[in-house]
Structure 1
Amino acid sequence: MDKLSFLGVIIGFAALIGGNFLEGGSWGSLMNGSAALIVVGGTLGAAMLQTPIASLKHAFNVLSWVFAPPHFHYDAGIKKIVHWADAARREGILGLENVAEREKNPFAQKGLLLLVDGSEPEEIRRVMENDLLQKEQWDLQAVQFYESMGGYAPTIGIIGAVIGLIHVMKNLNDPAQLGPGIAIAFVATIYGVAFANLLLLPIANKLKQCVGHESRFKELIIDGLIAIAEGENPKLIQIKLSGYLTP
């Protein structure tokens, strides 16, 4: 569980609400059902219009990564690859067949099977990098859904404000209604900007980081498998892959 994400959401909205109170506003001044409906519904509808249904389902599936991101243990990955290299040196490449059958990571398992089948290093790299790229693009399509919502929300908020001002203009003969009416109209703008900058765009950026971590871990696996295919010394492989460890 990523506590920092929870803390970020709490601090962001606490600053918004707290600043409103310090300026003399009330909780009720920020509450407007019609403005929320226009901004949330309009933003969601616009983003759904441009998104294929498969990508939309995937976008909802990866949303949990914001608060429970997948973890990739680079040090454990390096140790595992070095173990594979030791096994290959002692028993030959065919000795990795049992290792491949027990491997739980589908990406690593595919690479090990290609290695055992006697594929050339460049062929292994080509196949594995193609898989990496396809998965990365698939995940980034999900990220794009939240990025697009972050782009639409402020504009939809302005539309909501204009709609509110239209209703205000109908009450020009009643000056007492103008001030509160204008204030309510601009609540839609606040919703749009806050929705985009406190939730949607940060969510998109967090998901991009998760996608990047996964791709980097897969690059580690590819480099390790290629080194094994080329018969490199396990100790040298460990030194080479240590560059993936963050300082």
Structure 2
Amino acid sequence: MEGVISLQLVLDKITKQFNEKQVLQGVEQRFQKGKIYGLLGRNGAGKTTLFNCLSGELKMDGGRALLEIDGAERELREQDVGYVYSLPILPEFLTGYEFVKFFMDSNRHENLQADLTIDQYFDMMSMAEEERHRLIKGYSHGMKNKLQMLLFLITKPPVILLDEPLTSFDVIVALEMKKLLREMKHNHILIFSTHILQLASDLCDELVILNRGQLASVSPELLRSPEFEQSIIELLKDESHAEGS
């Protein structure tokens, strides 16, 4: 999406229901390229459900998601979205290097033009030579998340969703990932869900709260204020949540 002047993700009245539980109740929001958005909400509020609807993992009951590129709108497509799962799903019988090579080879028919060599991508993720050639089965949770992120450096999806990222990383790797996300935001729409308020206030340009099935923006002034954490807790503490959504 380099060269695109304006890029926005538009959520238009998205609804999703499980049995009698209305998890998403007409979600509306705009997300812009060039910012890191934090999605806050209590466990079960529907953060993962929203991400699954945007990625195509779940079918929306109503509403739609649009991509607005330089003022022209179109439906959001599955290939527009990169999804970093909280529990990475990777082929553990391959080495990291073998997996990335397979990924690049199998996506060539999609007109994938890799800008760098495989080793250069691993260098960007600060993954050492021996780590690249170890079986993914032996990777830590944080290493697997880094490998997921590497794929999006190659494919460059306009929208990247991160479900509870950075929580499994040690301090050094977390700092590396924060730096990478800040660099990537210039060409992508980045949204990550988290329940860690300190991470949200440290990394995000803007925050949105999912509460009672709808999204609400947090003012930038509140995000930087000393009362930030207490204010967010007050907004969320009356949420009647359903585990697992």
The TM-score with structure 2 as length reference comes to 0.21
The TM-score with structure 1 as length reference comes to 0.21
Higher helix share: 1
Structure showing greater Rg: 1
Higher strand share: 2
